[in-house]
């Protein structure tokens, strides 16, 4: 099991650090709302991932993997939500930062809900848990405790990735005091989220 952990941690952290719509949200939220808000908002993402891990552990994820129509439905909803977020960012206000270095506040629960739906709208995320975590399970030992331990480790590493992206966003936010810089930042984030939505839309269900 020790060898499995030595392989799991770096491989898992590489997945956590991969650029994606949720990590982009952490970057954007930290730049506009601050480090604390970005980290709290990521709780929505962790909640969605925890549910996916529970589904994978119970075997229900196999239903998603086997059902092309269910995969397509979730994919379309997730892509539509990313396009909607991209539109909101594209049209977002580019007002200058106030004297405290923060943008006009949005409720943390709203950002948390946003993170949750972005994560939940990606059906490939649950398939990652279905295909990735079991590789580190020892079938000669009780499976449930192992799955729980690996899932918890994934969530902790995901939160660490959130912190790193939020710190990067915090540093970036200090460079965005001018309205034009904020305008370009919002448009850039919108373009990336739109690209993520298009990538999700064009993705195929793994065989």
How high is the pLDDT of residue 102? 47
How high is the pLDDT of residue 182? 66
Does residue 30 register a pLDDT over 50?
Answer: yes
Q: What percent of the chain has pLDDT over 90?
A: 20
Convert the pLDDT of each residue in 75-126 to its tens digit: 777 678 778 777 877 776 654 443 344 455 778 999 999 999 988 887 767 7
How high is the pLDDT of residue 96? 43
Written in H, E and C, the secondary structure of the chain is: CHHHHHHHHHHHHHHHHCCCHHHHHHHHHHHHHCHHHHHHHCHHHHHHHHHHHHHHHHCCHHHHHHCHHHHHHHHHHHHHHHHHHHHHHHCCCCCCCCCCCCCCCCCHHHHHHHHHHHHHCCHHHHHHHHHHHHHHCCCCCCHHHHHHHHHHHHHHHHHHHHHHHHHHHHHHHCCCCCHHHHHHHHHHHHHHHHHHHHHHHHCCCCC
Please give the residue that has the higher pLDDT: either 159 or 199. Answer: 159
Please give the residue that has the higher pLDDT: either 12 or 109. Answer: 109
Q: What's the pTM value of the predicted model, to 2 decimals? A: 0.71
Q: What is the mean pLDDT of residues 137-150?
A: 80
Please give the residue that has the higher pLDDT: either 166 or 126. Answer: 166
Question: What per-residue string of b and e applies to 125-164 under the rule 16 or more CB within 10 Å gives b?
Answer: bbbbbbebbeebbeeeeeeeebbeebbebbbebbbebbbe
Could you identify the residue written with the tokens 């904020």? Answer: 182
Cβ proximity of 82 and 190 under 8 Å: no
Pick from 4-13, 52-61, 156-165, 194-203 the range whose average pLDDT is largest: 156-165
Q: What is the mean pLDDT of residues 125-132?
A: 75
């Amino acid at each position: 099991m020790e060898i499995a952990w030595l392989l799991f941690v770096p491989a898992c952290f590489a997945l956590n650090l991969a650029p994606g719509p949720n990590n982009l949200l952490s970057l954007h939220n930290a730049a506009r709302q601050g480090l604390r808000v970005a980290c709290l908002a990521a709780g929505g993402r962790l909640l969605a991932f925890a549910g996916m891990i529970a589904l994978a552990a119970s075997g229900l994820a196999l239903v998603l993997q086997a059902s092309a129509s269910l995969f397509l439905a979730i994919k379309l909803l997730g892509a539509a939500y990313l396009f909607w977020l991209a539109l909101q960012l594209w049209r977002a206000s580019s007002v200058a930062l106030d004297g405290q270095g923060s943008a006009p506040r949005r409720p943390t629960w709203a950002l948390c809900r946003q993170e949750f739906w972005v994560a939940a709208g990606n059906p490939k995320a649950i398939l990652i848990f279905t295909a990735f975590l079991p590789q580190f399970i020892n079938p000669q030992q009780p499976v449930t405790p192992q799955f729980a331990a690996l899932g918890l480790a994934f969530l902790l590493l995901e939160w660490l990735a959130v912190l790193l992206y939020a710190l990067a966003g915090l540093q970036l936010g200090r460079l965005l005091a001018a309205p034009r810089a904020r305008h370009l930042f919002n448009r850039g984030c919108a373009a990336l989220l739109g690209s993520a939505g298009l990538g999700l839309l064009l993705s195929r269900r793994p065989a």
